[in-house]
Chains A and B, each alone.
Chain A
Amino acid sequence: MVDDKWEQHGEDNGLRLLCSGDHEAFSRFVDKYKETVFLCCRRLGLREDEVEDVASETFMAAYKGLSRYGGRSELSTWLWSIAYRKGIDCLRRNRRERQLEDEQETEIADGTEHVPAVVTEDRETEQVVWEAVERLPRLWKVAVILHYREEKAIADIAKIMDTRENTVKTYLFRGRQKLREMLGEALGEDYNAGK
């Protein structure tokens, strides 16, 4: 996940150049985090035509705000919070906010209908896990991805999602529980030993 060129320049020096408005440093910054920003936008359920716009908006907001970035949080956490906010704003603009809240209950009730197919030799375990995560409600999905993929602490996730830590814990608990149910049938005993 870490870009080599960025590392070669050193985090501190890279950050200093980035905050000073250096275009090359910004290009490396975009290269490093573009996948993460697209991931956030797509998981929030934006349409494909909106995803690119929101991703661009996110990076431009970061570019404008970099001179004020004080380093109080990790750069990736800061960028995630911008991307998340922009994504939610886009959903709100399109009046899909209610859907965002409603689906937490409804999708879970339907979850068992979408159990992934049983893993065969042809299907990668990772693919099955990812497909199961994709079926979670948006906010649970974002929390799970932030925690397990981005390795963010609960406090950071709460900051990104602009919510309370207990809410994040609930998203994670329910998301994890639902994934267990969904993946239990697909993966069989591969992981159940850790249950």
Chain B
Amino acid sequence: MPANKPNQGNFDELLGRALQMHSEPVPADFTERVLRQARELDKRRIVSRVVWQGRLALAGTILVGAAAIVGVVALPGRVGALLSSIGMGFTERGGALIDRFPQAVGVVRNEWQLYAVLAVLLGFAVYFFFDMLLSDRAKMA
């Protein structure tokens, strides 16, 4: 019994004992029903999550597309130079890439805002791609 009970004695003991012996009737299938509700809630949560992921992925796709269009329209020179430098980079040999590394760092430093935006968009796209393809399958399993 807790220490701060107002009075002690036979009456308290009797009361405690009597109340603890009481058994409250509960419907036989109550646990199963609550468990069913919990499972339904989980399913609704997963569906809601998938719907939101779909919406976000769609928003991400639109955003990437819009950013690309805005980039091409507003900064055609920069985007052209960037794409050509990326294309050149892919065709370069490893040794040449190493030689050009300080130059590439210089280019990134000069145009860091553009690279930052591209990096965020790329990260966004990759995250949603993997989230949509892998994580929900794992959750469903």
Q: Does B140 contact A (CB under 8 A)?
A: no
Query: In the bound complex, do residue A154 and residue B4 qualify as a contact, i.e. CB atoms below 8 Å apart?
Result: yes
Q: A56-B34, A64-B41, A193-B10 are in contact. Are A148 and B15 (CB under 8 A)?
A: yes
Residues on the B chain within 8 Å of A133, using CB: 19
Query: In the bound complex, do residue B30 and residue A179 qualify as a contact, i.e. CB atoms below 8 Å apart?
Result: no
Query: In the bound complex, do residue B12 and residue A34 qualify as a contact, i.e. CB atoms below 8 Å apart?
Result: no
Stretch of A69-77, A78-86, A169-177 contacting B (4+ beta carbons < 8 Å): A169-177
Query: In the bound complex, do residue A125 and residue B18 qualify as a contact, i.e. CB atoms below 8 Å apart?
Result: yes
Mark interface residues in B91-135 (1 if CB within 8 Å of A CB, else 0). Answer: 000000000000000000000000000000000000000000000
Q: A129-B18, A145-B19 are in contact. Are A60 and B41 (CB under 8 A)?
A: yes
Query: In the bound complex, do residue B7 and residue A149 qualify as a contact, i.e. CB atoms below 8 Å apart?
Result: no
Query: Which of A31, A38, A56, A195 lies in contact with B9, CB distance below 8 A?
Result: A195
Residues on the B chain within 8 Å of A191, using CB: 10-11, 14
- Cα(A154)–Cα(B5), bound, Å: 8
Q: How large is the interface on A (under 10, 10 to 19, 20 to 34, 35 or more residues)?
A: 35 or more
Q: Does B67 contact A (CB under 8 A)?
A: no
- Cα(A154)–Cα(B4), bound, Å: 7
Q: Which of B17, B18, B20, B42 has the most CB of A within 10 A?
A: B18
Query: In the bound complex, do residue B30 and residue A55 qualify as a contact, i.e. CB atoms below 8 Å apart?
Result: yes
Mark interface residues in B31-50 (1 if CB within 8 Å of A CB, else 0). Answer: 10111011101100000000
* CB-nearest residue of chain A to B9: A194
* CB-nearest residue of chain B to A172: B6
Q: Nearest Cβ in chain B — how far from A38, in angstroms?
A: 5
Q: Does B26 contact A (CB under 8 A)?
A: yes
Q: A42-B24, A153-B4 are in contact. Are A194 and B34 (CB under 8 A)?
A: no
Give 5 pairs: A residue, B residue, CB < 8 Å, sorted on A: A23-B39, A52-B27, A60-B41, A176-B6, A192-B11
Question: Can you name 11 extra interface pairs (CB under 8 A) apart from A145-B19, A148-B20?
Answer: A21-B42, A31-B31, A35-B26, A60-B34, A129-B14, A151-B1, A154-B2, A176-B7, A191-B11, A193-B10, A194-B13
Binding site for A on B (CB under 8 A): 1-7, 9-27, 30-31, 33-35, 37-39, 41-42
| Closest 9 A/B residue pairs (Cβ) | A194-B10, A194-B9, A129-B18, A149-B19, A126-B18, A153-B2, A39-B24, A148-B16, A35-B24
